[in-house]
Amino acid sequence: MKSLIFRTITPVIVSVMVLFSIFVLLRGHNEPGGGFIGGLIAVAALSIYGIAFGVETVRRAIVFHPLSIAGAGLLLATLAGLLSMVFQVPFMTGLWVYPVVLGEEIPLSSVMAFDIGVYLVVVGAVTSIALSLEERGED
């Protein structure tokens, strides 16, 4: 799209949206949010970026093929579920650790890894659809 205003404002909007999507993803366990919603926000961000600067720019920006991102997410989610088997508890049981970093207790869990997997799958799969539809160079 050739609108100068749109092109100028897009990088700002997109970076804020991506940052916000990660924020929504991470806070999801205790407040509204989570992997699905966060993923969808990120997809929206990437779509806007694609509309402003073209599909190729988006592909370069995200480095990996969107479906590879989705695949990695699915793998991460599965491994997060399988992790519990190593500790002799049923599949998909949440595991928590509370390391103290710089005097601050940070709760980490396999559930969070699972949610990040969900985020990546949504980002990858839907971006792949959106980008392939936007792509018109091949016609």
Residues that bind another protein (CB under 8 A): 24, 28-37, 40-41, 43-44, 47, 66-67, 70-71, 73-74, 77-78, 81, 91-92, 94, 96, 107, 109, 111, 114-115, 117-118, 121-122, 124-126, 128-130, 132-134, 136
- Matching residue, tokens 């500790």: 87
**Smallest gap from residue 113 Cβ to another protein (A):** 10
Q: Which is nearer to another protein, 31 or 101 (CB)?
A: 31
> Could you give the CA distance from residue 28 to residue 36 in angstroms, rounded to a whole number?
10
> Could you give the CA distance from residue 139 to residue 137 in angstroms, rounded to a whole number?
6
**Smallest gap from residue 133 Cβ to another protein (A):** 4
